[in-house]
Structure 1
């Protein structure tokens, strides 16, 4: 008995100590909370959904990060060979023939060109991309827009505001920066943020790089085969099967690329040992110097053919999202690079013996028994190479669409495994027509190669410039390494660009023309998109209008949920006032939905929905921001409605809990984060349970249900009554919302016609009234892009004058 009593006393003392420690922690948190207090009046003036939109769990959701086991990395490395390297792997088909269009005048020139190929492959794909550029990924995704999104997230340089509370501190939004804050990086950041010209130049460079990569997608299929008729037939079939998706069309042929690399490396080694191993002297860069001394301007012009040995290098970065950095590094350095060296060395050895076959080097150097098998594999590999670049063009257009830089088009996600694999019907047919015209116009791979080189080198130079800026502002690298990087790679790529531009009239105008057209489309759309957004922001519906609306007896409430779509994030769009004026009826539950494109690749579902209750409370009107990254899939209506309803009910539950627990005259600043909907209060009025996680982040009461914060206070006087009132009130509201859902969901879509003001300039009238409206009318409408069912769609028209 005595021992039992002692144990009970010891347990009681331990409990008392635990309670005392808990009370001390609560007092410290309350003190920290008061120091960081944010008044609700300030929050209302901000006009945003909430200032705690960024206070979310920092989970790494990207499936392609580098924290994977080595076995998985090796599997990804094997798969990447078939997806990424089809373009650069098929370049031995035409490099020597494009470099020597007029034949070989000196036998030493073969060694000079081979040396150029060796060091071009070593410096650009290997050193620059494999060991440097790949690390500039955006949470695992690469490409020009990934570089742009990194810069926009670190500095306020986006032409459309992206530093709103709904953007900041998402799991994938926040950057982990070095601890040493350098003055150089801060100065550059301030100059970028304060210079509209710098922001405009950065945007134009980004869409130029995007346009050039799309130009690769146009020219890669054209260069796949030397026979025009066969090429056009292959192109038609190739673009026809795009609807089945990259995963089925391209990835199923990945083993062919592996076989292709085995063929070209085996044939290369065979020719090397059979004809002349002396060509390995080309590893001495002295032969490059001798080549230019001997040929002068002719040698400089020939660089336009040499540069084709690195076509498709940008795909290593652009397609990074399907794999990871280590996988790409292993596949390139362990398989692709040595294979290409063997292939080019073998061709050079063959040309030493048979220089007259330079116009058809690859096929002429194949041993007779392997000719037809190699020919079949070559055609298949060229098709897969084309597939990779076409898929890349789809992905880029999809990203530009998400960032407000392209007209609305229907984006079909074709793979459940790879989020970035998309198919765009309108772009597919446009690419097909452009490719057929290009093939029929240029007829030979030499002429197409002249055009192809400009697109290849231009993208590389843009990547070099943007990565230099990232090194300066974000990575905060030593200035000497930055200078070394920019000088070495900028000089090499600048030399190649000057050479390919020399052949502008021989085909180089095609990618530039194509890029200019794409840039004009992106520029016009982005300009008007920004003006339209600012018009809605400056003319949003006031809170007084909503209060008067609630008191108006002539406004009817009809059963069901109404979802009114708008691009406005902060506030209620002006088109709502227009809607009420013409149709004085509101659904029993009304949600203003804004689809927010965030400049990151993915947004976790737990962080996707943000809600705000529009006063008066009993009018049941909510603002909802739905955040998507540029690689996220916009859900279909049934899935979207279910997710929205679940998050709305959870928000209502948490909102009622806050309202019932709030002390009188207490400002709503909450340092504690509830991750689950279950809240337990004990008899002493203290919150307990695993669902309560504490963080010292001041927030408003307007929040995402998954990041709902509460404040700890003493409710010992009437805990049972408060909790029961919270549960009862929340359940009633959630049941009301559920019943409204069962009565049906109606989509209200604002269709705003944008026109210029009366005193606008002629240029602005051409851009807005004609160019923009032409694009808007000839591309997919909003309900197709957002997946809105036409049977439940109600359009609301209005004219915006900007």
Structure 2
């Protein structure tokens, strides 16, 4: 459909007149840093916070189990601790979170920042493809996280009451169905309770850890890095394989960066360093102490930390934390999808805003129901969280490794760091992430194939859509007529009728096909004809001063561009109400919107393989209409179709 939003900036024209109306959107943080830090604990740290449910257990009872002795227990605790310090604290909290796109984080936001500053160089294509693949892996993570988190929590029922083991999967499915069904209502009210619940959860696991450590204080020495070194020297092969499970201690680290726009850099750093990191370290040390004292507790060292009288309260608190972790990743999938749509990697989808005040709170029905089906299938097929953790690790470590390539571009090309500082830092990050990914690749037969298959499938869809749109625009531009030539000839060749006609155009150049078809078939022109291009910029939000550009072509013809950031809602009627220098103000009851709908015909033209053209045609047919995407009034829209080959 030629009325698609156009990724990238709209070329400014010499005589285009800039319009400023009202105040800039801004992306401000409201509330004190302590309040934001509590909010971050509730949303950002749910994934990494629920890792103690299964991380240490799977290292000693998973697909590549280790002997339960001091060498291996201390070595794994040391490995987990220093992984959290290097990957989470140093890499994400201290370095990557400094690379923000006007306050926003995440792979796509970073990609947009890189493309805006160094786009056009030969190697940027490869970087963009890597970033898109990281986004594809994120969708796999979005499917696995709810399944493994809720399973890991509800399995506590079987730990405390083994006769109830058969009820675990039905209970998990019921919780997940409820969770996905409430998404359409918005998460604002539920999110109010997220912070306090996660505070309670982290305080609880801290206290349980301290009580267990007190019974064997020498376990604190496991934090020394020499224990990890001893493990690899004494048992290198099994130590390497164990990294595939040890990495579960840092799953969710990328969420710190992706959710930076919601809370800001400082609150996330504060909550991690002051509260979350100490709580996780204390709980892992407590589990290590328990395993050394009672090897039989390996069935679930997390749940066996609790005394008998506190077992069911712990189960409830852990289950709530798992649901919150799932909620956070589902909301993240909605946000990433919106960014990908705006940046031109995913077809338009119906996006519903669930809050009148918080623009980031959105609901995308297609993504919600697809995730629900995928998550429930994972639970039913894999049955246990330990079976899913093999799939979990590859998605996480793959995304982390790709982030290093994006970071390298930022360090060398944007920040201009000296090699003496950047090369050693990147070498450490690449070595650790590559080792973790390599260890997880050994689990491909045990379930690691799942995120790779999902990632490749989603990557194919994203790149097919992006390439197909580019080919369509090139095809349409070849036969386009310069707008200035058209306006001079069209003025005298058609009758003028009252009202305003807005013709949506995918590019700033040429005449929209809907306008040509209207002249050809209806032989009329409205008193005011506006050729409108909606452009999505490489920034999250566009300043109001840069929102509009208008050029008066004479004879009642205007050319207008409206710019939105990739996190903004593309509400065209609301934007038009702010325009005061395009003739009279826009009255929606006297304005008609004309859209071009293209039907794609697969052809043997060079550009894409036939199977990809057919895939693109299917995606084009199933994309949400421009009327919904741009929030156009349903009774004021006229669609004119044509066929096109690419």
TM-score between the two structures when normalised by the length of structure 2 = 0.91
Change (3 A) 1:265 1:520: same
The structural deviation recorded for 1:573 is 2.4
Matched, 1:250 2:186: no
Matched, 1:316 2:256: yes
The structural deviation recorded for 1:547 is 0.8
Q: Distance in 2 between matches of 1:399 and 1:150?
A: 13
* Paired position in structure 1 for 2:54: 94
Change (3 A) 1:299 1:91: same
- The runs of 5 or more residues in structure 1 that have no matched partner are 1-45, 158-192, 653-733
The structural deviation recorded for 1:800 is 2.3
Change (3 A) 1:53 1:800: farther
- Secondary structure of the residue aligned to 1:747 is strand
The structural deviation recorded for 1:440 is 1.3
Q: Distance in 1 between matches of 2:11 and 2:205?
A: 62
* Paired position in structure 1 for 2:492: 551
Change (3 A) 1:84 1:754: same
Q: Give yes or no for contact 1:305–1:449 (8 Å, CA) kept in 2.
A: yes
Instruction: For residues 10-44 of structure 1, give each alpha carbon's deviation from its aligned partner in whole angstroms, at most 9, with x where no partner exists.
Output: xxxxxxxxxxxxxxxxxxxxxxxxxxxxxxxxxxx
Q: Bigger CA drift: 364-373 or 379-388?
A: 364-373
Alignment match of 2:437 (pick from 472, 475, 497): 497
The structural deviation recorded for 1:528 is 0.8
Instruction: For residues 607-639 of structure 1, give each alpha carbon's deviation from its aligned partner in whole angstroms, at most 9, with x where no partner exists.
Output: 21211112xx2x2111111111111112274x3
Change (3 A) 1:599 1:762: closer
- Secondary structure of the residue aligned to 2:609 is helix
Matched, 1:277 2:217: yes
* Paired position in structure 1 for 2:571: 635
The structural deviation recorded for 1:219 is 0.6
The structural deviation recorded for 1:106 is 2.2
- Secondary structure of the residue aligned to 1:408 is coil
Q: Give yes or no for contact 1:228–1:443 (8 Å, CA) kept in 2.
A: yes
The structural deviation recorded for 1:779 is 3.1
The structural deviation recorded for 1:416 is 3.8
Matched, 1:145 2:81: no
Q: Distance in 1 between matches of 2:105 and 2:588?
A: 43
The structural deviation recorded for 1:417 is 4.0
Q: Distance in 2 between matches of 1:60 and 1:560?
A: 30
The structural deviation recorded for 1:776 is 1.7
Matched, 1:62 2:60: no
Q: Give yes or no for contact 2:498–2:526 (8 Å, CA) kept in 1.
A: yes
Alignment match of 1:781 (pick from 625, 630, 639): 625
- Secondary structure of the residue aligned to 1:132 is helix
The structural deviation recorded for 1:98 is 1.0
Q: Which structure 1 residue ranges, 4+ long, deviate > 6 Å from structure 2?
A: 51-57
Q: Distance in 2 between matches of 1:636 and 1:788?
A: 7
Q: Distance in 1 between matches of 2:132 and 2:191?
A: 27
Matched, 1:72 2:32: yes
Q: Distance in 1 between matches of 2:264 and 2:11?
A: 40
The structural deviation recorded for 1:761 is 5.4
The structural deviation recorded for 1:742 is 7.2
- Secondary structure of the residue aligned to 1:223 is helix
Change (3 A) 1:216 1:535: same
Q: Distance in 1 between matches of 2:424 and 2:354?
A: 42
Matched, 1:307 2:247: yes
The structural deviation recorded for 1:48 is 5.0
Alignment match of 2:593 (pick from 747, 750, 769): 747
Instruction: For residues 414-443 of structure 1, give each alpha carbon's deviation from its aligned partner in whole angstroms, at most 9, with x where no partner exists.
Output: 234433232110011111111111111111
* Paired position in structure 1 for 2:124: 199
Matched, 1:792 2:625: no
Q: Give yes or no for contact 1:220–1:389 (8 Å, CA) kept in 2.
A: yes
Q: Give yes or no for contact 1:756–1:764 (8 Å, CA) kept in 2.
A: no
- RMSD over aligned Cα, in angstroms? 2.2
The structural deviation recorded for 1:60 is 7.9
* Paired position in structure 2 for 1:718: none
Q: Distance in 2 between matches of 1:342 and 1:212?
A: 31
Q: Distance in 1 between matches of 2:568 and 2:575?
A: 13
Q: Bigger CA drift: 289-298 or 321-330?
A: 289-298
Q: How does 1:400-799 map to 2 (within 5 A)?
A: 400-542=340-482, 543-552=484-493, 555-614=494-553, 617=554, 619-635=555-571, 637=573, 639-643=574-578, 647=579, 649=580, 651-652=581-582, 734=583, 737-738=584-585, 741=587, 744-757=590-603, 759-760=604-605, 764-768=609-613, 770-799=614-643
* Paired position in structure 2 for 1:32: none
Q: Give yes or no for contact 2:78–2:227 (8 Å, CA) kept in 1.
A: yes
Q: Give yes or no for contact 1:401–1:408 (8 Å, CA) kept in 2.
A: yes
Change (3 A) 1:481 1:246: farther
Q: Give yes or no for contact 2:352–2:363 (8 Å, CA) kept in 1.
A: yes
Q: How does 1:122-141 map to 2 (within 5 A)?
A: 122-141=85-104
Q: Distance in 2 between matches of 1:761 and 1:610?
A: 36
The structural deviation recorded for 1:540 is 2.6
- Secondary structure of the residue aligned to 2:567 is coil
* Paired position in structure 2 for 1:331: 271
Change (3 A) 1:385 1:778: same
- Secondary structure of the residue aligned to 1:551 is coil
The structure whose RCO (Cα within 8 Å, separation 6+) is larger is 2
Q: Distance in 2 between matches of 1:406 and 1:214?
A: 13
Q: Distance in 2 between matches of 1:545 and 1:414?
A: 43
Q: Give yes or no for contact 2:18–2:548 (8 Å, CA) kept in 1.
A: no
Q: Distance in 1 between matches of 2:16 and 2:571?
A: 25
Change (3 A) 1:507 1:54: farther
Instruction: For residues 226-253 of structure 1, give each alpha carbon's deviation from its aligned partner in whole angstroms, at most 9, with x where no partner exists.
Output: 3322221111111111112232333433
Change (3 A) 1:470 1:405: same
Q: Distance in 2 between matches of 1:783 and 1:772?
A: 20
Q: Give yes or no for contact 2:186–2:354 (8 Å, CA) kept in 1.
A: yes
Change (3 A) 1:493 1:51: farther
Q: Give yes or no for contact 1:452–1:511 (8 Å, CA) kept in 2.
A: yes
- Secondary structure of the residue aligned to 2:209 is helix
Larger Rg computed on CA atoms: 1
* Paired position in structure 2 for 1:342: 282
Q: Distance in 1 between matches of 2:256 and 2:577?
A: 38
- Secondary structure of the residue aligned to 2:26 is coil
Matched, 1:82 2:45: no
Q: Distance in 2 between matches of 1:200 and 1:281?
A: 47
- Secondary structure of the residue aligned to 1:415 is coil
Q: Give yes or no for contact 1:112–1:290 (8 Å, CA) kept in 2.
A: yes
The structural deviation recorded for 1:283 is 2.0
Change (3 A) 1:800 1:263: same
The structural deviation recorded for 1:473 is 0.5
* Paired position in structure 2 for 1:240: 181
* Paired position in structure 1 for 2:77: 114
Q: Distance in 2 between matches of 1:288 and 1:413?
A: 48
- Secondary structure of the residue aligned to 1:780 is coil
The structural deviation recorded for 1:574 is 3.7
Change (3 A) 1:773 1:370: same
Matched, 1:367 2:367: no
Instruction: For residues 663-696 of structure 1, give each alpha carbon's deviation from its aligned partner in whole angstroms, at most 9, with x where no partner exists.
Output: xxxxxxxxxxxxxxxxxxxxxxxxxxxxxxxxxx
The structural deviation recorded for 1:299 is 1.7
The structural deviation recorded for 1:557 is 1.6
Q: Distance in 1 between matches of 2:643 and 2:389?
A: 48
